[in-house]
Amino acid sequence: MKNLKGILPVVVLLAIHTNTYAFQSVSEDGKTVQAYQLNDAEKTDFRFDGKINEDFWNRMLPASGFLQSAPVEGNPATEKTEVRIAYDSQYLYIGVILYDSDPEQIKAFQKRRDQRITADERFVWIFDTFNDQRNAYFMEINPNGLRTDGLVSSGQGGGINLNWDGIWDARTYIGEYGWSAEIKIPFRTLNFDENSDHWGVNFMRVIRRKNETALWTGHRRNQGISRPQDAGLLTGLKDISQGLGLEVVPFGIGSVSRDLTGDDTEAELSPDAGIDINYNITPSLKASVTFNTDFAEAEVDQRQVNLTRFPIAFPEQRDFFLEGANIYSFAPSSGINPYFSRRIGLNARKPVPITYGARLLGNVGENNLAILHVRTGESGALDPENFTVARVKRNIGSESTLGLIYTRRATSDVDSLQDRHTFGADLELATSSFLGDKNLQFQAFFVFHNPAEVSDNSTNIADRSSRGVRLNFPNRPWSGHVSYREFGETFNPAVGFARRVAFRRLQPSVAFTPQFAASRTIDEVEWGIRFEHLTDLDFTLLTQNLIFTLADVRFASGDRVRWRVGRNYELLDEEFDIRRDGSIIIPVDEYENWSTEFQINTAEFRKISADFEVEYNGFWTGTSTEIEAGLSFRPIPGVEFSPSYERSMIRLPEGDFDADLFLFEGIWDLTTELFFTTNLQYDNLSKEIGLNNRLRWIITPGSNLFLVYNHNWQEDPLGRFETTTQAGIVKLSYTHRF
């Protein structure tokens, strides 16, 4: 750990500084907006139509005075925005007017629920319902009434997690003044402290054609909407309630499938049903149980071609495991995953039946708590298993946390396996007031587990553990970090994921990103250096990367151009079967290569936008040329076609080959409640075509009908594609709240 000596004095300073500011709000602007309580007559007169024309809206003092974060930090927003907030005992209402001097230029292509708004105008807000300046609800809409939501967490690796899906509604209207919106959020959707009359709140507006981002508070480039510590205050809330806090979601499923790869090719009909039950034990702590859980409606994984020596992790797509992801997150910028939810209910990306699951999520005082237990059933050669995950994060001072995690995996009827336990701790010290107004963050973690085999008597915890530290300076124009981590030789958490083990890794980086306020062409340019030095546990060099960002230019038009070059060193200590079929073997040796990468992204608000990237690398004993191209075509609002193509051209003395991956996504959004998506994928290594069609109808917020059709083909030696599997699925769920 001699590499850490220079970091320790900074950590001590940061700890002292964090404690000094423990009880100070770091929001520089100190803005406040007052919530207005509706009376019975005003509730009766309210028409939920997106038009801010009821008399009660005029009785409120709006939140206004937005300042630019981009293109010119600190300048007043070029268009006026007014936000008003009202409430009754059951609902929170937001009325917002987004004035626009040229309403015909308002961008509004997207309609699909939970689609990240990238091509359109956006209005965004966060609610820090406990006013702890650490976590918040994130919600955004566009002029079509598209709704996207998630959870915000501060700190290293923090930001916006879009996996949370809340029940709320919005209506919008485009007029001669610009556009406006009315938003209706049930208090039952949110966790909050009933004894507090104020929440943290912030608002952001994006005017897409101007590439302008403006915020109510926290407008500086090292602040933003994803930092609750830079939010203002919402005051005046009283007599609000979550009701009984009971939510019952029964669901029914009908599926028909056919597998043509085996002897039995008859179609199989499988009706089924299940139920989810959620109960708010307190306004800030929710318990959930699920029986006979099914994830038939989950989106398919996006196919990837892996030409590396190490496994790749696919992102979680199942809603039950996505909720609470912000609490489960562990040392998020350090590449350590003691809990990886795809280890539960999936085997080789194939579903394993889940008999039942139970979960506890929320806040208890200064603690963020998440507990999960899942029982999986028998599937082929797999025996039933029990999975338990417990996570707690304790708030320290104003922005720091101390966390613990525990996981357990128990397999039935396998005598050679014992219960596998994993324990971990992570610490984050953070301040937003370093050197006056700068962010500084320190992170440390340690994780270990017991042996999986009953016969394994090894007591060397170092081999079964990982540990690391990270110091981060996330600011503008200067930013940088330095991190150090170690992974033991047999580190393999049973409910986690480790891409690579048996190494020590040091990685520093620095970047300079000035803003060109006087330019009408260029918004900002980034130059940077990133270095990685990775050895085995005996300090023998295995990997070394040096990457120079020669220019990352973001234009005022919304377009972007990036150029990077790099040098790579690899020590290959065992032969590498690059195609996993024995056809091309990379020999043991030392390899040193250079690479260059060029990337262009056009602004997404245009009807046609494109991404193009080309990378030329020295690759083991030869070269690799990688080309990626993607196109998005939006002919009318709600319709989008997005083909993409990736080609890797590998040229080696041991043999040449090309890896091709084709993806196509088509979106037909008839309304903001009814949308259809088709996803087509093909790669020439597996020689498989996969088709996924998915229709979703939001009957009411929280109640859904899904129609899903999957079809897979396999290419035979003659180049013909034969059907391998087909499946059709219908799933209906309905949410009852009490």
pLDDT digits (tens, 9 = 90+) for 594-624: 999 999 999 988 999 999 999 999 999 999 9
pLDDT at 194: 81
pLDDT at 350: 81
Tokens of 358: 């139970």
CA gap 180, 175 in Å, rounded: 8
Q: What is the mean pLDDT of the chain?
A: 90
At residue 180 the predicted structure's pLDDT band, cuts being 50, 70 and 90, is: very high
pLDDT at 2: 45
Query: Please, which residues bridge with residue 652 across strands?
Result: 655
- Select the more confidently predicted residue: 251 or 298: 251
At residue 23 the predicted structure's pLDDT band, cuts being 50, 70 and 90, is: very low
Using the predicted structure, report yes or no on whether residue 417 has a pLDDT greater than 90: no
Burial category of 278 from C-beta neighbours within 10 Å (exposed 0-12, middle 13-18, buried 19 and up): buried
273: amino acid identity, one letter:
A
Using the predicted structure, report yes or no on whether residue 628 has a pLDDT greater than 60: yes
Residue owning tokens 């953070």: 430
For every residue of 223-250, DSSP letters joined together read: S-TT-GGG-EEEE---S---TT-EEEEE
Prediction pTM value: 0.86
Mean predicted confidence (pLDDT) in 428-433: 90
Mean predicted confidence (pLDDT) in 213-222: 94
- pLDDT, one tens digit per residue, over 449-483 is 999 887 777 668 899 999 999 999 999 999 999 99
Using the predicted structure, report yes or no on whether residue 24 has a pLDDT greater than 60: no
At residue 440 the predicted structure's pLDDT band, cuts being 50, 70 and 90, is: very high
CA gap 449, 344 in Å, rounded: 18
Listed by start position, the domains of the chain span 31-235
Q: Is the dihedral of CA 206, 211, 217, 218 positive or negative?
A: positive
Percent of the chain with pLDDT over 70: 95
Using the predicted structure, report yes or no on whether residue 18 has a pLDDT greater than 60: no
pLDDT at 16: 43
Mean predicted confidence (pLDDT) in 79-84: 97
For every residue of 490-533, DSSP letters joined together read: T---TTSB-S--SEEEEEEEEEE--B-TT-SSEEEEEEEEEEEE
At residue 158 the predicted structure's pLDDT band, cuts being 50, 70 and 90, is: low
Mean predicted confidence (pLDDT) in 31-42: 94
Q: Which of 307, 280, 392, 256 is nearest to 577 (CA)?
A: 307
| SS3 category, 95 | strand
594 C-beta neighbours (distance < 10 Å), count: 12
461 C-beta neighbours (distance < 10 Å), count: 11
Mean predicted confidence (pLDDT) in 537-551: 97
Are 355 and 375 in contact, with CB atoms under 8 Å apart? yes
Looking at CATH, the fold of the domain delimited by 31-235 is given as Immunoglobulin-like (2.60.40)
Using the predicted structure, report yes or no on whether residue 22 has a pLDDT greater than 50: no
CA gap 549, 496 in Å, rounded: 33
pLDDT at 681: 96
Are 216 and 31 in contact, with CB atoms under 8 Å apart? yes
Are 562 and 548 in contact, with CB atoms under 8 Å apart? no
Mean predicted confidence (pLDDT) in 81-108: 95
Are 532 and 543 in contact, with CB atoms under 8 Å apart? yes
Mean predicted confidence (pLDDT) in 120-145: 93
- pLDDT, one tens digit per residue, over 644-681 is 999 999 999 999 999 999 999 999 999 989 999 999 99
Tokens of 110: 């997207």
